[in-house]
Structure 1
Amino acid sequence: MTDLVKIGNTNVVSKKLGLGTNKVGGHNIFTGLKDKDGYAVVKEAIESGITTLDTAYMYGLGRSEEIIGDVIQDYDRSKLIIATKAAQDSSRNKVDNSPEFLRKSVDEALKRLKTDYIDIFYIHFPDEKTPKDQAVRALNELKKSGKIRAIGVSNFSLAQIKEANKEGFVDIVEDNYSLLHRDAEKELFPYLKENKISFVPYFPLASGLLTGKYRFSDSDKFSQYSREKFGDIITSLEIVEKIADRYEATVAQVILAWYMKNPNISIVIPGARKPEQVDQNVKSLDIKLSDKDYRTIDEAFMDVE
């Protein structure tokens, strides 16, 4: 496994492990968040060697970007990969992919992040009207001007990704994927591989379910699964637990290591509410899963969905 990955056909190079920052300033998403913890999380990530920070306007309506912008002033910007996303027009409570809105969103994000370029800019969600190739063409103009370095789309269907990539401008896709949500493997991954487009999964730990801290008795906390399906998930996690014991690691660390070994995944971006959670995630970099253990985990979750 290489420790560095190139994003699409760009010169943007990232480590395999990044930081998802929806718990940094994301007061509109999570309760009980403290900005001081958000600052500490971002600092700890950078100090621990994480260079890719994944944020979005919707994480606190710009607050996450502001916190990251404050923190990165103390570090070498050229060594950091800042990814952000936009599409939601909060003033009208609607999603907007129009070229005008995207250009405005990039300029506003640059101010909040206190930087003069964004390494990866994603259209966060598709709208209903804008032709996707038109939206991406506008981003390509921003790429030529140096405001962004890589073009991404998030939460797009495969058909929308293909439309967005008509001219080959899409560099990276971010979408929901985990060992419990594997739809992307069927059609999306082959298309991305064929077109040299990178992939970043969000919810890699399935909102905590893949951390190994839950047992059969916790099924009522995950009402989206039947009791039978939840039992299957716990049984699969018990297999991972045995593997984790051999690596003297946690279940979450082994799951993150599985993603980093997966050839379809460019960067994995687990979130953190506290700096100590960053430390736990970083330890996953020390785990070099054997091919056999990788296959065992893969097969354990193959029929869980």
Structure 2
Amino acid sequence: MIKVTFSEAGDLMEKIQIGRTELNVNPLGLGTNKIGGYNLFPNLDDETGKKVVQTAIDHDVEMIDTAFMYGLGHSEELIGEVLQKNDRHKVVLATKGAQQVTADGKVTLNNTPDFLTKSVDESLQRLHTDYLDIFYIHFPDQDTPKAEAVGALQRLREAGKLRAIGVSNFSLDQVKEADADGYVDLVENQYNLLQQDAVKELVPYLNEQHISFVPYEPFAAALLTGRYAPDNLPHFEEGDHRLTIDLYKPDQLKANVAKVEQLKPIAAKYEATVAQLVLAWYMKNPLIGPVIPGARTPEQLLVNVQSESVQLNDSDYEAIARIFA
């Protein structure tokens, strides 16, 4: 991963270069599926969501990552409202599309050039901007040649509507197909300390090709926040979506919580929370690019921002890696 050091107001700060572009971004961003994502999370409040975005901008959280599927465009609309009151150029704005919704509410995947072009134009309208810093194909469909799909986004980049092109939830073979012409700048896939499959084959390839890797679900559905303990395991009611996540299944849950428990004394050394320690570990990891934890409230966002002051030494970084090896 290419990291660039800048001098700003006399202070040195490290930014991450996005793919092969001239776009650089702070290591800590914001994922916004809890901002307007009423179809994903219960009891979300729009005004609180907008305050989260404003707080992020006020604290130099540059990358704001959203998607059509977060509330079927509602997350984009809320972020667009906030952007209108701020300097658009302070934000590295990323969104995603690929989902086609029928009149009866059925969602299908569509990577055709016409649909992606339409998706970008509609996202621009909802976000109240004339360009996107990053647009991802959110999921691959079954039929569209991936280089053809990315080629449509390249034409939009040449037209000034995009600055960088990404794909999300693509396998290694699909990434190679998508990048046949060298147009892909980012891949956003699942990765966290408990789910590290991406670094086995995909991420080494991306680094060779100078493609940025953006991990999502950095807290592994809250398991990596430190809120649970061996004597305080989570219990879910029937129908809770976490019951479908492998990490929470009975044969894995105790072992996963026990691993996270080992982070608590390390976090205490840095006067940090476990969640802040985890984010600091990601930001020190040379294999991955910007990290985009979510936040439901401004207070949660500010706690995440404090992780930037946690400067892990090499010994503790390696100790954490061994726990989850």
TM-score (norm 1): 0.96
Determine whether 1:119 maps to 2:103: no
Determine whether 1:235 maps to 2:258: yes
1:59 is aligned with what amino acid? Y
The match for 2:306 is 283
Hey, what's the Cα distance between the residues in 1 that align with 2:324 and 2:146? 34
Hey, what's the Cα distance between the residues in 2 that align with 1:188 and 1:114? 34
Q: Is the 8 A contact 1:21 1:53 kept in 2?
A: yes
**Aligned match for 1:212, one of 226, 236, 246:** 226
The Cα shift of 1:245 comes to 0.3
The alignment partner of 1:201 has SS state of strand
**Aligned match for 1:54, one of 65, 68, 77:** 65
Hey, what's the Cα distance between the residues in 2 that align with 1:278 and 1:99? 36
Hey, what's the Cα distance between the residues in 2 that align with 1:28 and 1:219? 23
Q: Is the 8 A contact 1:219 1:227 kept in 2?
A: no
The match for 1:90 is 101
Residues 163-190 of structure 1: CA deviation (Å, up to 9, x unaligned): 0011111000000100010001110011
Point out the more displaced range, 71-80 or 281-290: 71-80
The match for 1:105 is 119
Hey, what's the Cα distance between the residues in 2 that align with 1:206 and 1:190? 22
The alignment partner of 2:135 has SS state of strand
Identity over aligned residues, as a percent?
A: 53
The Cα shift of 1:220 comes to 4.1
The Cα shift of 1:238 comes to 2.1
Q: How many residues align?
A: 302
The match for 2:267 is 244
Alignment of 1:126-205 (within 5 A): 126-205=140-219
The match for 1:294 is 317
Q: Is the 8 A contact 2:229 2:261 kept in 1?
A: no
Hey, what's the Cα distance between the residues in 1 that align with 2:213 and 2:249? 30
The match for 2:25 is 14
Point out the more displaced range, 208-217 or 242-251: 208-217
The Cα shift of 1:218 comes to 1.2
Hey, what's the Cα distance between the residues in 2 that align with 1:53 and 1:73? 15
Hey, what's the Cα distance between the residues in 1 that align with 2:306 and 2:186? 26
Hey, what's the Cα distance between the residues in 2 that align with 1:245 and 1:169? 44
Residues 143-162 of structure 1: CA deviation (Å, up to 9, x unaligned): 11110000000001111111
Hey, what's the Cα distance between the residues in 2 that align with 1:111 and 1:181? 36
Determine whether 1:4 maps to 2:1: no
1:88 is aligned with what amino acid? Q
2:169 is aligned with what amino acid? N
Alignment of 1:21-40 (within 5 A): 21-40=32-51
Gaps of at least 5 residues in structure 2 are 6-13, 237-241
Alignment of 1:250-261 (within 5 A): 250-261=273-284
Gaps of at least 5 residues in structure 1 are none
Q: Is the 8 A contact 1:233 1:301 kept in 2?
A: no
The Cα shift of 1:109 comes to 0.4
The alignment partner of 1:204 has SS state of coil
The alignment partner of 1:65 has SS state of helix
Determine whether 1:45 maps to 2:56: yes
State the superposition RMSD in angstroms: 1.3
Hey, what's the Cα distance between the residues in 2 that align with 1:219 and 1:274? 22
Hey, what's the Cα distance between the residues in 2 that align with 1:52 and 1:301? 27
Q: Is the 8 A contact 2:57 2:90 kept in 1?
A: no
The Cα shift of 1:228 comes to 5.2
The Cα shift of 1:219 comes to 4.9
1:61 is aligned with what amino acid? L
Point out the more displaced range, 263-272 or 233-242: 233-242
